[in-house]
């Protein structure tokens, strides 16, 4: 088998952990597999480099940030090669330029376009374990790009797809995908499996276990993806196309506190105003999530939408500059907001799910500001302070814990 | 003018120094020059990375060490680009792969074969200051190589040669090239100029101000080279083909304490034995310096030679393994040795120099173990403990300080 493994920064944070991972990699190799390993930067390396940059320039260019940050992964792969060699294995480290991980040109948020597999395949043929820098690529002119925070997951899945690997294992510091954040909901349980679509929703809704783009790529190329712990031997969660076991109504609940809401009040009721607002946001590369448009008693329109809190300043500045053109009376914002979402393939065919969700919120005394739904998820915007209580209430309402535990018991028979 | 500047690790050790250098670079740019800057890794970065590697693997592969260490310079150039941008300049950082600094394949000690100038010239044409990682290159298969410690000097001079630059300025933490190490000889003086050949001898004899290979390249391509301080406005020392001013007998005295001596005793007096010894050393990539061969009273040969102390273990191991084949009775070594050298273009035409040198050693009570001479230098092997006293005695004997000061006074007229 050809197996791609990815280890995050905390799994390689110091020499001891590097050796633990080296042993795990060697075990996989000694079972007769070809092994390609994607590594993140060690522990707090990336944060340290960001701090160094900010000390010098409050708004460093994205190109130079990529140049700076990409060194972290290169250190990881070189050190891991040394560790594998120290325990008798054979490994070679490769950075994105050496592999040929070709990306778009958007510094700090590039997308992989193509991966040359020749160098990796040659090294595998020679019996080496191949260690590849995660998170980074090269653009058309050979400059270094990065895929955004968490992008090493995407590197691993894209490599697995390009190499036609039998499996892609994402090693992390939790044992898999849970029905809710176990730190908030103590009886949250680990899922044995989850579909790509559900995982995609959970990932994009704030469950930090997988980078959402990695799930998109896995779905597109049907990569067998397993999320598991680098610290234990637990089985982990398999992410796949079809989940065979009896479906739960709701697979999980996720929250994202890094959300701000902007409301543009009193816009003239003319065609094209919403288009103008969101064109502006697109031009500033601000991703917009939930959108709500309503007409006030005065016949004017109000447009509200949510964005990532990091984009708030840039979004407000662009809107204020164009306030007149947008015929807006007032632009207000709220930073004390969070998204809470439930995800489950079961909900599409069960109209009672939304009602149960809202009932749980009502029971917990949580006020809902905005609502957004899709085939397999419902998201509400609530106050940040309400998130933990709401998550416990929802988890409890859908009895995700017991459903899953029963399922687990069934599986063991 | 097109100027190549090189700043060492201590010149960019922290944010404050990075800004100092950024300002100096900007000043050069604002005077209307095109500027290419070569940077070393910040302060103790390289030492820190070496320590990390040694924690994981006592004998890491040279390929992986290069992969690891090359990240230090990449961080420096990215941070410098951010600093220049912060003070209103325009800069772009490039690593060796992006520039195309092609080297031989000898990891950790590669030599530059060719530099592609297209990318740099394009960036200069667009008005950017170009910041290039020192110390590193890429080999034929695109893997990262390094040029050996101090190799950033060579990067700078090679870039100046390839770009046909008007000047190559090496910024360091001393004000130029001195007649002796100022920490040992308090009245050592800075030279205004020195010839390539003299500088080459001084550099290879332990004067740490310039990487010796950089001087070779400067001489070969006739690069105008200036060594000066990044902390002051002092003029520095110009290294050039012909030194116009009245020649001093001796330009400088240098010492290298990282030397060990090996003696192979009682070899059969047969042809080819010396060849065998030094073939063995070449095979182990051990550089041999002073060689002395003598015949003992018993008709057997003794071969003594000096090597860098880091190579002692590997050299002894190879010799012991082949002791029988070499017909050696005994292999001894001495780690308490150092080289002391005087350098000066004037000495070739002045037979009294060697005598004065040996007289100074005699006066200082220093025993000479071996002697080696060339057109422009005399080197002696002495005990490590004698080095400082010998250096002061020699410096005094040749009155380098006063000669140079008189010369400086002449120049000012």
Of A52, A79, A142, the CB nearest to B79: A52
> Residue A51 phi/psi, 5° resolution?
-60, -40
Query: How far does A97 lie from chain B, in Å, by closest CA?
Result: 8
Is B208 annotated as a binding-site member?
A: yes
3-state SS of chain B? CEEEEEECHHHHCCHHHHHHHHHHHHHHHHCCCEEEEEECCCCCHHHHHHHHHHHHCCCCCHHHHHHHHHHHHHHHHHHHHHHHHHCCCCEEEECHHHHCEEECCCCCCCCEEEECCHHHHHHHHCCCEEEEECCEEECCCCCEEECCCCHHHHHHHHHHHHCCCCEEEEEECCCCCECCCCCCCCCCCECCEEEHHHHHHHHHCCCCCCCHHHHHHHHHHCCCEEEEECCCCCCCEEEECCCCCCCCCCCEEEEEEEEEEEEEEEECCCCCHHHHHHHHHHHCCCCEEEEEEEECCCCCEEEEEEEEHHHHHHHHHHHHHCCCCCCCCEEEEEEEEEEEEEECHHHHHCCHHHHHHHHHHHHCCCCCCEEEEECCEEEEEEEHHHHHHHHHHHHHHCCHHHHHHHHHHHHHC
Q: For residue A270, how many other CB atoms are within 10 A of its CB? A: 9
A106 has pLDDT over 60: yes
Residue found by looking up tokens 């101090």 in the block: B150
pLDDT higher at B363 or A116: A116
User: What pLDDT is recorded for position B376?
Assistant: 80
pLDDT at residue A206, as a whole number: 65
Least confident of A55-64, A158-167, A234-243, B334-343: A234-243
pTM of the model: 0.78
| Pairing verdict, β A252-267 and A301-308 | antiparallel
Q: Are strands A34-39 and A129-133 parallel, antiparallel or unpaired?
A: parallel
Q: Please tell me whether residue A130 adopts helix, strand or coil conformation.
A: strand
Which residues of chain B fall short of a pLDDT of 70? Answer: 205-207, 243-249, 348-349, 351, 401-413
Give pLDDT, residue B359. Answer: 86
Length of chain B as a residue count: 413
Over residues A36-55, the mean pLDDT reads 94
**Could you state, in order of their start, the residue ranges of all structural domains in chain B?**
2-173, 253-401
Asked if A75 and B18 come within 8 Å (Cβ–Cβ), the reply is: no
Question: What ipTM goes with this model?
Answer: 0.76
- The minimum CA-CA distance between A333 and chain B, rounded to whole Å, is 31
Question: B97 vs A97: CB contact, 8 Å cut-off?
Answer: yes
Q: A15, B60: Cβ pair inside 8 Å?
A: no
Given CB atoms, is B45 within the 8 Å cutoff of chain A?
no
State how far residue B42 is from chain A, nearest Cα, in angstroms: 12
Residue of B nearest to A87 (CA): B57
Residue of A nearest to B12 (CA): A56
Is B103 buried (19+), middle (13-18) or exposed (0-12) by CB count in 10 A?
Answer: buried
pLDDT of residue B322: 92
- B60 contacts chain A (CB < 8 A): yes
The annotation places the binding site of A for ATP at 6-9, 172-173, 178, 183, 208-209
CATH 3.40.1160.10 is right for the domain spanning B2-173:
yes
Shortest Cα–Cα distance, A146 to chain B (Å): 14
Q: What is the pLDDT of residue A402?
A: 57
More confident residue, B365 or A137: A137
Tell me whether A82 touches chain B (CB under 8 Å). Answer: yes
User: Across the strands, what pairs with B133?
Assistant: B39
Residues of B in contact with A58 (CB under 8 A): 86
pLDDT-derived band at A212, boundaries 50, 70, 90 = confident
Which pLDDT does position A375 carry in this prediction?
Answer: 73
* Residue B221 labeled ligand binder: no
Q: Is A85's CB within 8 Å of B61's CB?
A: yes
Quick check: A326 pLDDT over 50? yes
- pLDDT beyond 50 at A47: yes
Give the gap in angstroms from C-alpha A264 to the nearest C-alpha of chain B.
34
Determine the distance in angstroms separating the CA of A121 from the nearest CA of chain B, rounded to an integer: 15
Check CB contact under 8 Å for B85 and A142. no
- B57 and A97 within 8 Å at the Cβ level: the answer is no
User: 């957004």: which residue's tokens?
Assistant: A372
**Does residue A373 have a pLDDT over 80?**
no
A124/chain B closest Cα distance in angstroms: 16
Name B36's bridge partners.
Answer: B4, B130
* Calpha distance B205→B219 (Å, rounded): 17
Query: Does A98 contact chain B (CB < 8 Å)?
Result: yes
Residue A404 has pLDDT above 90, yes or no: no
- Touching B: A residues 167-226, CB under 8 Å: none
When pLDDT is averaged across residues A259-276 and rounded to a whole number, the result is: 86
Residue A313 in this model has a pLDDT that exceeds 50? yes
Stretch A328-350: mean pLDDT: 85
More confidently predicted of B23 and A369: B23
What is the CB neighbour count within 10 angstroms for residue B401? 18
CB B202 within 8 A of CB B343: yes
> In this structure, what token pair is assigned to residue A203?
């990932």
DSSP state of A399: T
Question: Bigger pLDDT: A274 or A412?
Answer: A274
Using DSSP, state whether A17 is helix, strand or coil. Answer: helix
Sign of CA dihedral B302, B303, B306, B309: negative
Q: Is B64's CB within 8 Å of A55's CB?
A: no
Q: Which residue of B has its CA nearest to A133?
A: B67
Q: What is the mean pLDDT of residues A150-169?
A: 95
pLDDT of residue B248: 61
From the list B19, B56, B93, the residue facing A64 with the nearest CB is B93
Tell me if chain B has a CB within 8 Å of the CB of A67: yes
Q: Does A292 touch chain B (CB under 8 A)?
A: no
A49 near B CB under 8 A? yes
Q: Which of A 119-148 lie inside 8 A of B, CB atoms?
A: 142-144
Q: Which three-class secondary structure state does DSSP give residue A403?
A: helix
Q: What mean pLDDT comes out for the span A40-66?
A: 94
* Interchain contact, B83 vs A57, CB within 8 Å: yes
In angstroms, how far apart are the furthest CA atoms of chain B?
77
pLDDT of residue A405: 46
Measured between CA atoms, the residue of chain B closest to residue A131 is B64
Does the annotation list B209 as a binding residue?
yes
CB contact under 8 A, B64 and A78: yes
Of A284 and A85, the structure prediction assigns the larger pLDDT to A85
CATH class held by domain B253-401: alpha beta
Q: What pLDDT, on the 0 to 100 scale, is given for residue A94?
A: 98
A85 close to B (CB below 8 A): yes
| Sheet of A225-229, strand order | A91-94, A129-133, A34-39, A2-7, A167-172, A225-229, A237-240, A193-195
Q: Considering only A3-7, A72-76, A255-259, A356-360, which range has the smallest mean pLDDT? A: A356-360
Pick from A70, A86, A98: CB nearest B143? A98
- What is A27-91 written as a DSSP string? HHHHTT-EEEEEE---TTHHHHHHHHHHHH-SS--HHHHHHHHHHHHHHHHHHHHHHHHHTT--E
Tokens of B5: 């500047």
User: How does residue A7 score in pLDDT terms, banded at 50, 70 and 90?
Assistant: very high
DSSP A178: B
Mean pLDDT throughout A101-130? 95
Q: What is the pLDDT of residues B137-153, one digit of tens each?
A: 999 999 999 998 779 99
Of A64, A82, A93, the CB nearest to B82: A64
Backbone phi, psi, residue A334, to 5°? -135, 120
A19 contacts A77 by C-beta, under 8 angstroms: no
Report d(CA A273, CA A286) in Å as an integer.
17
Asked if A81's CB is within 8 angstroms of B64's CB, the reply is yes
- Answer whether A190's CB lies under 8 Å from A237's CB: yes
Interface membership of A16 toward B (CB under 8 Å): no
Q: Say how many CB pairs under 8 Å bridge A and B.
A: 105
Distance from CA of B111 to the nearest CA of A (A): 20
The Cα A298–Cα A296 span in angstroms is: 5
Binding-site residues from annotation of A: 6-9, 46, 73, 172-173, 178, 183, 208-209
Q: What is the pLDDT of residue B408?
A: 46
């Amino acid at each position: 088998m050809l197996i791609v493994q990815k280890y995050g920064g905390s799994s390689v944070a110091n020499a001891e952990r590097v050796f633990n991972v080296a042993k795990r990699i060697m075990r996989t190799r000694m079972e007769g597999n070809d092994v390609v390993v994607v590594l993140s930067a060690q522990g707090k390396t990336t944060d340290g480099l960001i701090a160094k940059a900010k000390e010098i320039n409050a708004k460093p260019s994205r190109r130079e940030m990529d140049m700076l940050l990409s060194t972290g992964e290169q250190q990881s792969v070189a050190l891991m090669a040394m560790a594998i060699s120290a325990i008798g294995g054979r490994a070679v480290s490769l950075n994105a330029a050496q592999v040929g991980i070709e990306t778009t040109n958007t510094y700090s948020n590039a997308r992989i376009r193509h991966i040359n597999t020749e160098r990796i395949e040659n090294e595998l043929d020679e019996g080496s374990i191949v260690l590849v820098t995660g998170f980074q690529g090269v653009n058309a002119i050979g400059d270094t790009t990065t895929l955004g925070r968490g992008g090493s997951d995407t590197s691993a899945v894209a490599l697995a797809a390009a190499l036609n690997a039998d499996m892609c294992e994402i090693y992390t510091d939790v044992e898999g995908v849970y029905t809710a954040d176990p730190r908030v909901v103590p009886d949250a349980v680990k899922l044995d499996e989850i579909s790509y679509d559900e995982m995609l929703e959970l990932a994009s809704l704030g469950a930090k276990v997988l980078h959402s783009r990695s799930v998109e790529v896995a779905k597109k190329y049907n990569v067998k993806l397993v999320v598991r712990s680098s610290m234990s031997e637990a089985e982990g969660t398999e992410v796949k196309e079809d989940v065979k076991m009896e479906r739960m109504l709701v697979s999980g609940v996720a929250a994202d506190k890094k959300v701000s809401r902007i409301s543009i009040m009193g816009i003239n009721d003319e065609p094209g105003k919403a288009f103008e607002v969101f064109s502006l946001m697109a031009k500033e590369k601000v991703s917009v999530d939930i959108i709500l448009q309503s007409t006030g008693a005065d016949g004017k329109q109000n447009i509200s939408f949510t964005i990532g809190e990091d984009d708030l300043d840039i979004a407000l500045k662009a809107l204020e500059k164009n306030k007149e053109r947008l015929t807006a009376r007032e632009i207000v914002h709220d930073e004390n907001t969070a998204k809470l979402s439930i995800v489950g393939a079961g909900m599409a065919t069960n109209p009672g799910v939304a009602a149960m969700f809202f009932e749980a919120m009502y029971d917990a005394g949580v006020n809902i500001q905005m609502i957004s739904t899709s085939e397999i998820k419902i998201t509400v915007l609530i106050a940040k302070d309400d998130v933990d209580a709401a998550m416990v209430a929802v988890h409890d309402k859908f009895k995700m814990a017991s459903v899953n535990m029963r399922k687990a018991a069934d599986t063991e028979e």
